Structure 1
């Protein structure tokens, strides 16, 4: 484990000057007019496309044949043009703001962690999302962010950045070193939400390993990633998966299909410079990519069929890098 920690510590430090660049083949997939902020991606292998949530509470579906089409809405208000005219967080309270998103490829259900309005599910037919929960044990969710579905069980794991502040008060989370983030579990078979971990510092991203043995959670304000064991002799326990000695905040972390590898994105606190890296389940660095400064507020990097997809809080396009 110590060699793994050292490797990823060097990774996070070296990301600031990594020499591999996405400039040469980086291309935008423009969103429909008025829409922005493709936060996260869920890939549909059957249709060779993906889903993404944008500001205004809309879920878009993309296929190479049709481009972007409206697939679902978080609230009934989300279909109103007003939701795209209002500024966040006003629009988010009324219309929704999808953050983490993932597909159960067995059932076709699409799960969405809305930043302010709770955990939702969208049927394979699309339409209006169904709210699963807006809190647990009498405590409301304040700032949901990351979400993933266990490919082996269909269980949903999701995170909250903080239990005191909303996603739009991230400056307070960082300034006060808030440690009230949580890791949650939702079991569709029992329809019960439980808290797995508390006391997390800006729990931003979450992903499940391809074999379903553990979950990785990125702590934005603590500069590290936590591994929570689901199966095996360590089940129910957690440990550090990585630590960063610099001012790099890990945001998202996503599983790469069944390869056993992950993409990590990180943000430099002072310059807002972003960078990403591919690592395996032992923390070995497989690839580093430098992100250009013109791509603002990176939220996620995800891989599908040999291409990288880049999400953002503010951009009006999905970034695409094809190998």
Structure 2
């Protein structure tokens, strides 16, 4: 088959895979408690049909259909104070905390949290005050932690820093200066050690581990691509380009879809700033696109649970759920 024919078939398959979304009819909107904003990332409890999300003021909320939102955990003792409720981000982050990426260890029930300014934390299954695991590595403090995932086969935690110079609230500077100071880290609960796996990443906003634990993916917002870092096998310790998605898309997060082997990528179009949501298979090939006909402010994550896509952002006061 000629290269032209191959490209034509690929384009045709992508057209068939697009789902146009009616923003009014397809989204369920779940308002956050008053004075809380920015549901950044999501973790899920299938037994209780609950979802968890980190919000402004250093708080992690738990939502169930029966009880709505309740406070599950706090990053600092101050997180429950009126000061942390009232101060606007990012001013409140240094004192109160700002949970970014979160994920459960499904075997232990521990919830791991990458706090943007205050480091790596863990919360017990009972909730309450988070325990700080690390605030730096090799004498260097963490800067702008963002994405986090837990290897479903080993319990090892992988997390990223967006940049060593800019925060997520300075995304325009990160883009304008083509910043490439992000990092990928690994935390091994068995040894309590934190190591740097990758450096020189461009806006490393999200990371996720494959369902078989063979590799971890890192999205690069400023470089318009996704990197695959091999954990196991003959390529272990090396990295390569993963996604064949168009370079016009800036991926802000990537999340594993259960044990399917596939991934959801949240991205922003470089030219239009339109939200783009793409499903990829383990080879980086596009399986499906969800076209959302409106803009999310600082789209931080798209994650799937119980037949719905959960949209995370840095600034809004609602969780938006698209029913698949």
Q: Could you state the TM-score of these two structures normalised by the residue count of structure 2?
A: 0.92
Q: Deviation digits for residues 201-250 of structure 1, max 9, x if unmatched?
A: 11111000000000000000000000000011111111000255544210
Q: So what's the TM-score if we normalise by structure 1?
A: 0.92
SS in 2 for 1:90: coil
User: Superposed, which structure 2 residues align to 1:56-71 within 5 Å?
Assistant: 56-71=57-72
Q: Is the 8 A contact 2:32 2:318 kept in 1?
A: yes
Tell me which stretches of 4 or more aligned residues in structure 1 moved more than 6 Å. Answer: none
C-alpha deviation, 1:293, in angstroms = 1.8
Does the 8 Å CA contact 1:44/1:105 hold for their aligned counterparts? no
Correspondence for 2:206: 205
SS of 1:217's equivalent?
strand
Distance 2:205 2:214 in 1: 20
Q: Distance between the aligned counterparts of 1:203 and 1:215, measured in 2?
A: 12
Distance 1:315 1:168 in 2: 13
Q: Which ranges of structure 2 fall in alignment gaps of 5 or more residues? A: none
- State how 1:144-223 maps to structure 2 within 5 Å: 144-223=145-224
Instruction: Number of aligned residue pairs: give it.
Output: 314
Q: Is the 8 A contact 2:143 2:161 kept in 1?
A: yes
Are 1:81 and 2:82 counterparts? yes
Tell me the SS of whatever aligns to 2:255: strand
Change (3 A) 1:157 1:70: same
Match of 2:103 in 1: 102
Does residue 1:49 correspond to 2:40, yes or no? no
Q: What is the alpha-carbon root mean square deviation over aligned residues?
A: 2.0
Equivalent positions of 1:238-317 (< 5 A) are 238-242=239-243, 246-317=247-318
Change (3 A) 1:138 1:208: same
Q: Is the 8 A contact 2:225 2:247 kept in 1?
A: no
Deviation at residue 305 of structure 1 after TM alignment: 1.6
Segments of structure 1 that go 5 or more residues without pairing to the other structure are none
Tell me which of the two structures has the higher relative contact order, counting C-alpha pairs closer than 8 angstroms and 6 or more residues apart. 1
Contact 1:223–1:248 (Cα < 8 Å) also in 2: yes
How far residue 270 of structure 1 moved from its aligned partner, in angstroms, is 4.1
Q: How does 1:115-130 map to 2 (within 5 A)?
A: 115-130=116-131
Q: Take 1:271 and 1:149, find their aligned partners in 2: how far apart are those partners?
A: 33
